[in-house]
Structure 1
């Protein structure tokens, strides 16, 4: 968790990284934000150290990579074991994503990528062996993702000029 709230510069950096993390060099972000590359580098390092930026992951077209099967398993487990089961599910062959739901019966969503239905069957068996109750499964056709667009919006009442912290980093 962050010790202090994000300011406009932090939010703009996060937005630009979401739009294109690979192409967003310190210099390119500096040009967009009107601060120095050093300031951007320092801010990104701080955001990483605070756990705001967790990593940089490529978006994969699994079908183009030879893995046309994508299945979303809706599972149930005891709420007290949900995090433990999520970690164990990540070890199952083909699992690329596990989402923990806050509450309810269908509290783990497990995404599996595979080359063929036989691979999906193997993953299903492994999830069952973990003790997860498989409620339903759905073949995923397409996924549409976009950057969260509120990072770049300024808060009402917040000055447009650089804050004291930003001006000292220049």
Structure 2
């Protein structure tokens, strides 16, 4: 990362970390391909610049005992939006809060619960905080993927790479 700008190596490291957050420095160095020291230094620079904000895991909430997965769409006064977004994170069961740049339906909250009563309680707690829940949607599934703009399609797949021992 030079002058606060990401280059193609930084972008590729970010793509690979989004694909596999547990990848080792050695694995990343082979995939990008650059030296392990370069990968380590680039990751540290991106962490210090707050581009990499943390490392997370993907949880199967159904398997973990939380089969009810909902999205609440809320309307909150614009003047209170930041405060209410922060307070929403304090509610048990809240996974994700998104602040939207609209006048109405300007906060979207993703929640999980073990029972339907848990979901009702979460909705009531959010309402008590001042978030007007205008829509509740049962989420069937949710998928995420790495930003493909950072993938380097010019690199051969592992299956196409030459065997270094040959």
TM-score bracket, normalised by the shorter chain, equals: 0.7 to 0.9
**Can you give the 5+ residue segments of structure 2 that lack an aligned partner in the other structure?**
154-166
Superposition RMSD in Å? 1.5
Q: What corresponds to 2:54 in structure 1?
A: 55
What is the alpha-carbon distance in structure 1 between the residues aligned to residue 133 and residue 83 of structure 2?
A: 16
What is the alpha-carbon distance in structure 2 between the residues aligned to residue 103 and residue 5 of structure 1?
A: 30
Q: What corresponds to 2:150 in structure 1?
A: 151
Higher relative contact order (CA 8 A, sep 6+): 1
Question: What is the Cα deviation at residue 14 of structure 1?
Answer: 0.2
Q: Deviations over 1:1-21 (max 9, x none)?
A: x95221011000000001101
What TM-score do you get using the length of structure 1 for normalisation? 0.85
Q: Secondary structure at the match of 2:126?
A: helix
Residues 1-170 of structure 1: matches in 2 within 5 Å?
3-22=3-22, 24-153=23-152
Q: Secondary structure at the match of 1:112?
A: strand
Which consecutive segments of 4 or more residues in structure 1 shift more than 2 A? none
Instruction: Tell me if structure 2 keeps the 8 A contact 1:90–1:98.
Output: yes
Question: What is the Cα deviation at residue 38 of structure 1?
Answer: 1.2
Instruction: Say how many residue pairs are matched.
Output: 152
**Can you give the 5+ residue segments of structure 1 that lack an aligned partner in the other structure?**
155-170
What TM-score do you get using the length of structure 2 for normalisation? 0.87
Q: Deviations over 1:125-144 (max 9, x none)?
A: 10011011111000111112
Question: What is the Cα deviation at residue 93 of structure 1?
Answer: 1.6
Q: Deviations over 1:67-126 (max 9, x none)?
A: 100110000111222121111001112111101112230111011100001111111110
